[in-house]
């Protein structure tokens, strides 16, 4: 796959450890090479009145350092070791936010510290967030410190959609920004989504640690919406919801590379969708380890219109996952406006919401090793747990097929144990429903269930069960041009 831009990998992305003298002129923080020029400026937040005692609210002081950096034409905002409590911070063009080892920027646990009057309304869900930027260029977050949203349910109760009182802030939201770098840092405990990038270009995410499990609900790791030229590499991700989630509420996600990451999720390790109006074009995921993902490893979905093409996934090892692959072309048909509701409970699952049906055409997945496991809920195995640990599923809808899928060099171990009753299951179409594989129930195949598809090729597929299973290995329903070869 060729890319028109090489992700701006220049000398300005290199990391340097400087000397340790105090004051805004010198810094022991990690800074990029651009700041080493003679006209570089470093702004120590202590100079602007920040107090790292874990109690003082530092929103004004931290924002003052950012604003001064911007007014000076750019530079580095240094955060020394300490615990700095803050509400919403607005990052600006040409600003590097650099955290020393032992530096924590802690989210306030008061909803009033996350005003939205100066924020662009979020296209999905509520607009509150901790770190925010819009229409900015050359933003960099780096260092060995921690950005912790402290978004516990007792401080940010779960609400049902945008506009509600006490909505939960997401950790980061950048809208329409370019040349954005996340290098190092640990991101923890958002009340809602984690790192949300919307319509951004030329993004490099490297060496980032995500710790967002068992904190609240909807704790996605990365939500990449309508972005172009994005590289995510060498990251260690544990998310409560989808870990790496590509979305396209308006514009396509185009030229996205994910490589060399370890990923855990309570739902999916890697997902395209559910929001899919703009589509997904030129997606490349390689050499990753997905583990402890009970609701699935890889999910590729077009359900709100849009087009999915040229998706390549290779060299993935999955351990203790649900279904290793779920490909879905559906007809939920959501149309995205300002503050579109993100959930499912308030919407009619029996009717499309208006967008035209999209397409899925051109997926190549190879060199996959997966151990599929049934993960009991609270010590009990239910039909839901069994459905989550299902086979590969590829499904379009009547009249709209998934096209041109190649699966090659798979070695997948399934739990087995399927009964004769499982083998007789009738699979609903669920054309307009929110797409989770478990919603289709226990499938009548244990290895792969393929429906409403054309030109699907399986090459060297080593599928096995650890216990006897009464179901068929592979079931095809309304499939043309299917081939399986060794």
| Res. 20: pLDDT tops 60 | no
Alpha helices in 247-378 (DSSP H): none
Find the distance separating the first CA and the last CA of the chain, reported in whole Å. Answer: 26
Residue 164 has pLDDT above 70, yes or no: no
Query: Does residue 168 contact residue 343 with C-beta atoms inside 8 Å?
Result: no
What's the chain's length in residues?
486
Over 70: is that where the pLDDT of 195 sits?
A: yes
Residue with tokens 């849009």: 306
Reported as a pLDDT band with limits 50, 70 and 90, residue 399 is: very high
Q: What is the pLDDT of residues 340-389, one digit of tens each?
A: 756 655 456 678 888 999 999 999 999 999 999 998 877 788 899 999 99
In the chain, the number of structural domains is: 1
Q: Is residue 200 part of a domain?
A: yes
pLDDT at 377: 78
Q: Is 13 left (phi over 0), alpha (psi -120 to 50) or beta?
A: alpha
CA 232 from centre of chain:
11
Indicate if the pLDDT at residue 227 is higher than 80.
yes
pLDDT at 111 over 90: yes
343 domain residue, yes or no: no
What pLDDT score was predicted for residue 348? 63
Report the half-sphere exposure of 286 (CA within 13 A, side-chain side). Answer: 11
Does residue 4 form part of some domain? no
What is the arithmetic mean of pLDDT over 165-183? 94
- Domain of 153, CATH number, reads 2.160.20.10
Q: What is the C-alpha to C-alpha distance for residues 235 and 304, in angstroms, rounded to an integer? A: 30
Given a contact cutoff of 8 angstroms between Cβ atoms, the answer to whether 190 and 215 are in contact is yes
| pLDDT surpassing 90 at residue 236 | yes
How many Cα neighbours within 13 Å face the side chain of 88? 20
25 within some domain: no
Residue 13 falls inside a structural domain: no
Determine contact, residues 48/28, Cβ cutoff 8 Å: no
Domain membership of residue 22 (yes or no) is no
Q: Which residues pair with 95 in a beta bridge?
A: 75
> In 169-322, which residue ranges form alpha helices assigned H by DSSP?
none
Print the domain residue range for 282: 37-335+348-484
Contacts of 298 (CB under 8 A, 6+ apart): 268, 269, 270, 271, 285, 290, 313, 316, 324, 325, 326, 365
| Cβ–Cβ under 8 Å, residues 143 and 184 | yes
| 2 domain-assigned | no
- Range 55-78 average pLDDT: 97
Answer yes or no: is 1 within a domain: no
Q: How far apart are CA 101 and CA 377, in angstroms?
A: 38
* Mean pLDDT score, 84-103: 98
Taking residues 202-224, report their average pLDDT: 96
pTM of the predicted model as reported, rounded to 2 decimal places: 0.90
């Amino acid at each position: 796959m060729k890319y028109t831009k090489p992700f701006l990998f220049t000398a300005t992305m290199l990391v340097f450890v400087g000397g340790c003298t105090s004051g805004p002129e010198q810094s022991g923080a990690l800074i990029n090479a651009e700041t080493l020029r003679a006209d570089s400026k470093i702004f120590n937040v202590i100079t602007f009145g920040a107090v790292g005692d874990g109690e003082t609210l530092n929103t004004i002081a931290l924002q003052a350092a950012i604003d001064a950096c911007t007014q000076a034409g750019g530079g580095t905002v240094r955060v020394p070791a300490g615990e700095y409590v803050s509400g919403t911070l607005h990052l600006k063009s040409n600003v590097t936010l650099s955290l020393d080892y032992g530096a924590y920027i802690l989210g306030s646990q008061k909803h009033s510290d996350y005003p939205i009057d100066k924020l662009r309304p979020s296209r999905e869900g509520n607009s509150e967030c901790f770190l925010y930027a819009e229409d900015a260029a050359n933003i960099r977050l780096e260092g060995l410190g921690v950005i912790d949203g402290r978004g516990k349910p007792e401080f940010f109760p779960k609400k049902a959609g945008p506009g509600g009182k006490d909505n939960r802030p997401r950790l980061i939201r950048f809208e329409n920004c370019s040349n954005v770098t996340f290098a190092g840092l640990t991101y923890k405990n958002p009340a809602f989504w984690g790192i949300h990038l919307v319509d951004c270009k030329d993004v490099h995410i490297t060496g980032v640690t995500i710790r967002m499990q068992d904190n609240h609900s909807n704790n996605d790791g990365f939500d990449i919406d309508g972005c172009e030229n994005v590289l995510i590499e060498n990251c260690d991700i544990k998310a409560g919801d989808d870990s790496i989630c590509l979305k396209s509420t308006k514009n396509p996600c185009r030229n996205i590379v994910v490589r060399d990451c370890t990923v855990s999720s309570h739902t999916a390790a890697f997902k395209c969708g559910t929001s899919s109006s703009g589509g997904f074009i030129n997606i490349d995921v390689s050499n990753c380890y997905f583990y402890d993902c009970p609701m699935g490893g890889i999910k590729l979905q077009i359900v709100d219109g849009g087009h999915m093409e040229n998706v390549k996934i290779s060299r993935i090892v999955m351990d203790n996952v649900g279904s290793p692959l779920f490909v879905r072309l559906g007809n939920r048909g959501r149309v995205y406006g300002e503050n579109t509701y993100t959930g499912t409970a308030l919407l009619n699952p029996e009717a499309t919401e208006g967008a035209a049906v999209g397409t899925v055409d051109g997926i190549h997945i190879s060199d996959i090793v997966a151990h599929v496991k049934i993960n009991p809920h609270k010590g009990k195995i239910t039909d839901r747990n069994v459905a989550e640990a299902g086979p590969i599923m590829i499904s379009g809808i009547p009249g709209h097929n998934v096209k041109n899928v190649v699966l090659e060099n798979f070695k997948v171990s399934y739990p087995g144990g399927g009964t004769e009753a499982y083998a007789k299951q009738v699979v609903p179409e669920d054309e307009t429903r929110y797409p989770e594989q478990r919603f289709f129930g226990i499938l009548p195949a244990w290895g792969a269930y393929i429906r409403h598809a054309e030109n699907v090729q399986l090459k060297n597929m080593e599928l096995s069960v650890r216990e006897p299973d009464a179901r068929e290995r592979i079931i095809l329903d309304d499939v043309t041009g299917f081939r399986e070869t060794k």
